[in-house]
Chain A
Amino acid sequence: MTDDLFDGWRDKGLDEALYECRELLEDTSFPTVRRWRESGGKVLGHFQVYFPEEIAHAAGVLPFKVRGAPIEAIQADSRFGSYLCSILKTSLELALSNRVQFDMFVTHPICDAARNLAAVWGRNFPYPSQILYLPQNANSRAAVTYLRDEYARLQRSIEAVAGRLVNDDDLRRSIEVYNRNRALLRELYAIKRETPWLVSADEAYVLVAVGGLIRREEHNQLLDAMLPQIAARTNKKQDKMRLVFEGGFCEQPPLDLIRAIARSCYVVDDDLLIGLRWILEDVPGEGDALFNLAHAYLENSSYSPVQHDLRKPKEKMLIERIRNSRAEAAIITAAKMCEPGLEEQVAYLHALDEAGIPYFISEFEEKMTTFEHMEIQLQTFAENILFS
């Protein structure tokens, strides 16, 4: 097995290292995955939003976050109908065009469209494709034991692909790696929140997103090296509005869109790639590891429009996110044709109106290439608030 899937950042200064991360993120040939496979590694592709990567990691399989890409869905278009979000099509295109090759694919019932993916994948590829049924009744007392056993079922599937069994020690070691990763990501978000002038929204996004492309140990090394350098920056605080970006839980906005937002605002919190940050605290190492992972998914987790939990009404969680990050406003966005995102927007807007929090509303698509219009509108929005 190869040592480093991504070594371009090593021995480089912060800005150069960030540049390398950006290059990796925008490389739709996915060189890290290719390198892993060339060294004999197995790859498990898991569609957005959350996946218990620890289980794949414990089996020595590379978990790859399937989140679409800004590419043309040439072959995938003929597999789908017209009224669908882009991420669904481009994710399949990545596999059909061999840009990434998997040994297993897992999707989740996050939305009506995504839950079809296991069937579509299963008809198009010879390797196992399945749905992981994360509980949709998070409020049932039986949900956690159900999920524990569902994870055990998933583990058996992964073991069959990996060609090896996973024991408790394997799982505990993986949980430790991921706990460290979650802690580092929390640290990054604390910098965003407390000193947003030290790290722009697009830089922070890049640092989080590369985690879905490499082994988590490597990601930890990257963050361990970068975060102190970011904290040591001497950037001056600018007169920019603090805002929360909401709507990036599944399909990802283009990096240039995030950069355009960062030019006029400080994004102090967001739900971009929330699946990588879903679990909010360390998962206990002792005891039944699968139970602990299941418990953390349900009890120590963030929120998104694709998880229903009576304890977490999304609009109240958004207001909490805004208040906790001391944001002055919010960007409420949704990917085009994203049903859960678009449905949630209505509740968000009514709640923000009631709370008197200004918001900027928009839609995006991963393949967007022009942002000038949105940027001008956002600048006007920010100026109206800053100077009102």
Chain B
Amino acid sequence: MTDPQPAENILGRGNREGAELFRQWFAQLNQTAEQGGSAAYVFVMGSLAEILRTFNLPVVFPEINSLQTAVRRVAHEYLNQAEDYGYSPDICGYVKADVAVQLRGGQHPMGHIPKPAIAVLTNACNTYIKWAEIWERMYHIPIFTLDVPGTRAAGTQTWPGDPDFENDRRYVQAQLTELIALCERVTGIRFDIDRLREVMRHANEMSRGWKQVLDFNRNRPSLFNALTDGTIYLGVSNGLRGTAEGGRYFTNLVEEMAYKAAHGIGTLTDEKYRLTFVGVPCYPIFRRFNELFTQWGGTFVHSTYLWFASGGTNLGFEYDLARPLESLAEGVLISVRDAMDSMFFQDRALIEMIDSFHLDGVVYHPVKSCRTTSTGMADNRRALMAARDVASLFIESDMMDRRVVSEAQLKNRIDAFFEGLSSRKRQEAIAR
């Protein structure tokens, strides 16, 4: 038996190590680019890292590159460049920032991004498809769309054994086989199913840990802030999926959460109001946006972002390594489908979460840049309010474009929301 870890080693480890792993990942990408190497361009909702790592392809997430320009407050320079090139102000800011990165030969605030050798995407977001077509035109590289049929109507998900599920699974599995053949052609490396098993084993460790971490935040006080800390975890879950380091990181993170739960250690916020966040973060004022809530004692205990932006790995689906390809198809289908459900049919999950996560309020954040997540939000909120008596806030801004982010207006709305929450709590106390 090993000695218990000292508290100072455990507390905050997830954030420290997460930031370090993230930096290392970008450093490796920079090195690849500097050496003239190329990479696989992928997306967070179904990166297919399981297959790409089998072929030793470094993975680049252009969505993450783009949001990093916003976090580093230089997104406007990139957006302007893409708009000058012809892209409309009314399309996704992630796409435009990436176009500018490509036009700059891969130069990015975090280093040099390698060019793509292949692009692999799912249909979880239609913009992925249009985006990859841009690289196809720029670089004449193979692009592969893994088409993952989603849930057809609310509450009608099918499962293994159901003929409709099996039709979808066969389609996904056939495409995975085609992707493997394409990767063989692109890399010149022969497919090794044992290597795939090894990558899938690491992915299993990560998915298992990720689900546990998310579940831990039912704890009162919450153990991490889903908007800030959660985004760090999410970065690792995407960038390092299928690696030993990534798997170990999440095992350690579970240990940290268990320790905090056992010792009653929450976040730095004096937790008065437990909130969940629906949508994509406001990256142009990332920290400040969160502070607008924490200064009132509001903590984000969960976020739909942690579901869909992890490609649905929040479900904790673990692959059966005895039948890797079939299980990979099942896992990708179920997980990516869940990511889509988290955007289109999230009302039911949110209603369930009110009790299980002891929520005081739901914050909807539609953004101009992302119709996938934002289109149905107002209607979703109506359904939530009809089903449950819970406070909710609807604030529009953007994930990239600071021209659409008005901090003063946001603050005004958020302050009013908390005044309402405070009044609600007082009335509840009187009623008791």
Contacts and interface: CB of A to CB of B under 8 A. Distances in A.
B137 A112 contact: no
B368 A120 contact: no
B81 interface: no
A132 B151 CA distance: 10
Interface string A97-114: 000000000000111110
A88 interface: yes
> Contact residue range for chain B?
35 or more
22 contacts: A82-B396, A88-B375, A109-B123, A112-B375, A116-B372, A120-B379, A123-B382, A130-B152, A130-B153, A132-B152, A133-B149, A137-B145, A140-B171, A140-B175, A150-B167, A153-B167, A308-B133, A308-B145, A339-B91, A339-B130, A343-B127, A350-B86
A146 B375 contact: no
B376 interface: yes
Given A79-B382, A111-B126, 13 more contacts: A80-B376, A82-B368, A118-B153, A136-B145, A139-B145, A153-B164, A153-B167, A306-B126, A308-B133, A314-B133, A339-B92, A339-B127, A340-B126
Nearest to B341: A119
A115 interface: yes
With most chain A CB atoms within 10 A of its CB, the pick from B154, B171, B370, B377 is B171
Contacts of A153: 152, 164, 167
Contacts of A118: 152-153, 344
B126 A109 contact: yes
Contacts of B90: 83, 336-337, 339, 342
A137 B149 contact: no
Of residues A88, A112, A306, A342, which shows the largest number of chain B Cβ atoms within 10 Å of its Cβ?
A112
Nearest to A119: B344
Interface in B219-267: none
A305 B127 CA distance: 11
Interface of B: 85-88, 90-92, 95, 123, 125-127, 129-130, 133-134, 136-137, 143-147, 149-154, 156, 164, 167-168, 170-171, 174-175, 178, 343-345, 347, 366, 368, 370-372, 374-380, 382-383, 396
B14 to A, nearest CB: 32
A323 B154 CA distance: 45
Contacts of A340: 126, 130
Contact of A84 (B91, B126, B127, B371): B371
A306 B129 CA distance: 9
A116 B377 CA distance: 9
Nearest to B142: A310
Contacts of A40: none
Nearest to B123: A136
Interface in A131-175: 131-133, 135-137, 139-143, 145-146, 149-150, 153
A31 interface: no
Contacts of B88: 334, 342-343, 345
B382 A136 contact: no
Nearest to A129: B153
Contacts of A212: none
A123 B143 CA distance: 36
Return the 7 tightest CB-CB contacts between A and B, nearest first.
A142-B174, A146-B171, A137-B147, A112-B372, A112-B371, A116-B376, A116-B375
B174 A140 contact: yes
Contacts of B368: 82-83
Contacts of B143: 310
A113 B371 contact: yes
A41 interface: no
B372 A131 contact: no
Contacts of A346: 85-87
Interface of A: 78-84, 88, 109-113, 115-116, 118-120, 122-124, 128-133, 135-137, 139-143, 145-146, 149-150, 153, 305-306, 308, 310, 313-315, 334, 336-337, 339-340, 342-347, 349-350
Contacts of A145: 170-171
B347 A115 contact: no
B342 to A, nearest CB: 11
Contacts of B136: 313
A111 B137 contact: no
B377 A123 contact: no
A7 B165 CA distance: 45
A148 to B, nearest CB: 9
B128 to A, nearest CB: 10
Nearest to B92: A339
B178 A123 contact: no
Contacts of B125: 112
Contacts of A80: 375-376, 378-379
Nearest to B344: A119
A119 B170 contact: no
Contacts of B376: 80, 116, 119-120
A343 B137 contact: no
Nearest to B372: A112
A185 B366 CA distance: 41
Contacts of B370: 112
B150 to A, nearest CB: 7
A344 B164 CA distance: 34
Nearest to B149: A133
Contact of A109 (B87, B137, B150, B171): B150
A78 B394 CA distance: 12
A58 B427 CA distance: 59
A83 B126 contact: no
Contacts of B154: 119, 122-123
Contacts of A132: 152
Contact of A343 (B91, B149, B156, B374): B91
A81 B374 contact: yes
B286 to A, nearest CB: 21
B147 A135 contact: yes
A340 B87 CA distance: 11
Nearest to A80: B378
A153 B344 CA distance: 21
Contacts of B152: 118, 130-133, 153
Give the most central of A83, A120, A310, A337: most B CB within 10 Å: A83
Contacts of A123: 154, 347, 379-380, 382-383
A274 B328 CA distance: 37
A339 B371 contact: yes
Residue among A113, A129, A140, A314 with most chain B CB within 10 A: A140
A120 B5 CA distance: 50
